[in-house]
């Protein structure tokens, strides 16, 4: 695989600590959900990254399919839970809103994007991901 870009982040203190990009462009305090402490958690950061990546991959798939949506919006819900074996796993719902295409074409676009998006490719077979498509 030819690498186009690489970044690095460092976390200190886990879910109750701080995480930062090593280039200094972004740093965040972390907090355990429900702790009352100000800060984000890893699932929120994953949701943000997945949403941005997927929404960016939509025009790539649209071009491949020769479709021209007016606009798109991607929201991602990420859950975390304990598996039967005692480990932990993520669970994802992708909500994609496509304007300017009939529902069948929008669904085809979202399914094609799910094959192109790096986050989708990284999670495939490891995380339950459900696709939800809406149109106007």
Q: Look at residue 48 in the predicted model and tell me its pLDDT.
A: 98
Please compute the mean of the pLDDT values over residues 108-125 and round it to a whole number: 97
The residue-averaged pLDDT of 107-115 equals 98
**99 strand-pairing partners:** 71
The residue ranges of every structural domain in the chain are: 1-40, 42-135
Q: Which CATH number fits domain 1-40: 3.40.640.10, 3.30.870.10, 3.40.50.2300, 2.20.25.10?
A: 2.20.25.10
Tell me whether the CATH fold assigned to 1-40 matches the one assigned to 42-135: no
Residue 134 has pLDDT above 90, yes or no: yes
CA dihedral over 94, 37, 25, 122, signed as positive or negative = negative
Burial class (CB in 10 A: 0-12, 13-18, 19+), 1: exposed
pLDDT digits (tens, 9 = 90+) for 43-92: 999 999 999 999 999 999 999 999 999 999 999 999 999 999 999 999 99
State the pLDDT at residue 54. Answer: 98
> What is the mean predicted confidence (pLDDT) over 6-25?
96
pLDDT reported for residue 76 = 98
Q: How confident is the model at residue 136 (pLDDT cuts 50, 70, 90)?
A: confident
What's the gap between Cα 92 and its chain centre? Answer: 8
**42-135 adopts what CATH topology?**
GMP Synthetase; Chain A, domain 3 (3.30.300)
């Amino acid at each position: 695989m030819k690498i186009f870009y690489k970044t690095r982040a460092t976390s200190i203190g886990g879910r109750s600590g701080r995480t930062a990009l090593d280039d200094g462009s972004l740093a965040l305090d972390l907090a355990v959900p429900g702790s009352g402490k100000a800060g984000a958690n890893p699932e929120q950061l994953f949701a943000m990254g997945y949403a941005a990546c997927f929404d960016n991959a939509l025009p790539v798939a649209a071009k491949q399919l020769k479709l021209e949506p007016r606009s798109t919006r991607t929201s991602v819900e990420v859950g975390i839970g304990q598996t039967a074996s005692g480990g932990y796993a993520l669970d994802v719902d992708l909500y994609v809103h496509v304007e300017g295409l009939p529902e069948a074409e929008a669904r085809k676009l979202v399914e094609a994007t799910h094959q192109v998006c790096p986050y989708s490719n990284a999670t495939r077979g490891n995380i339950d991901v459900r696709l939800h498509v809406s149109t106007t």
